[in-house]
Structure 1
Amino acid sequence: MATFMSQLSHTGRIVIAKPAFGFAAPRRVATSVSLRNAPLLRRGVTMAAAGEPGTAVQKSEDEWRAILSPEQFRILRQKGTEYPGTGAYNKTKDDGTYECAGCGTPLYKSTTKFDSGCGWPAFFEGIPGAINETRDPDGRRVEITCAACGGHLGHVFKGEGFKTPTDARHCVNSVSLKFTPGNQS
């Protein structure tokens, strides 16, 4: 039976390692894992902590590849970036909700979207509990990920002087999103 290891790092993240080919490959999770998920961890399941306690989207790399397009996989799972000005939602102004393209978790309401001129969809805040923020190792940027599946969304920049309620810009890859028009409740 494969072994499993986890540890709490000095930053408060849990490092989860899933054995592969006889050795463990650590993966970082931006939030803590609920004790309700402990049996899953003992079985060596790689998971990302969700926005709601005790819930998480759990998929293997092969499962992600099967449900995502190659471009979605590159961006959501491998932390890629789409070219500026090419995303489907950069200029979208319709009412609705933007969800994670990987797991369907609602991330942003259209009322928080604004035109920052950066070439990617920009939002001044996410739906509470839906997005995790993790400072990049070099300290220059803060990565934003889906709290339910850990999918890479983009980066958040603060203090740029935008006239929004938060003075924050969530710069998001369109490929990471799925738009659902209509009611935002």
Structure 2
Amino acid sequence: MALPFKGGVVVCADSRTSTGSYVANRVSDKLVQLSDNIYACRSGSAADTQALTDYVHYYLNSWSLDTGRQPTVKTAAHLMRRLIYNNKDQLQAGVIIAGWDAVHGGSVYTITLGGSCLELPFATGGSGSIFVAGLLDAEFRQEMTQEEARTLAKKACAHAMTRDGSSGGVIRTVAISSEGVDRDYTPGNELPFGPSAPF
């Protein structure tokens, strides 16, 4: 998921990669840095999303070298959209692109399985997202502080991990703003909600 706050965006993800009912990797990193202040949250086929984020990272890096400027979040999102849309028959990839740039500030885009690109107030994706839709609708608000956004993201992610069999592991968050990038890690035995957490 990606939640904006006053001055930036928090991106958050669990770490479980599954193959059917088998957990293939319990600590995968689903948050991929595409450029200095732009991240992608991956869901769907791990192979497809890894290839896509590698391509977008390469193209954005080349663009920065050619122009001497940092790309906008919108540029990254529409590049990802084009790759997914042009290959929609072969890919199983749902991606959230979020970050901060000097033109638009913090922004969040979601690219669906078919290649539609939508700018949203906040975005969720993956199999666990349906379990936290009501929670985020109730608790999300504009102009949160960075800490409030990160706390809500962790709470929602932990709820999804508790209810969804394809979500689990650890929680990783990245706060992106004009001041840079701040990564955070929450181990599986310290989740803010779940069997081991105090209610």
State if a TM-score over 0.5 links the two structures: no
Structure of higher CA gyration radius? 1
Which structure would you say has the larger RCO, counting Cα contacts within 8 Å and 6 or more residues apart?
2
Report the structure, 1 or 2, having the larger helix content: 2
Q: TM-score, normalised by structure 1?
A: 0.29
Under a length normalisation based on structure 2, what TM-score does the superposition of the two structures give? Answer: 0.28
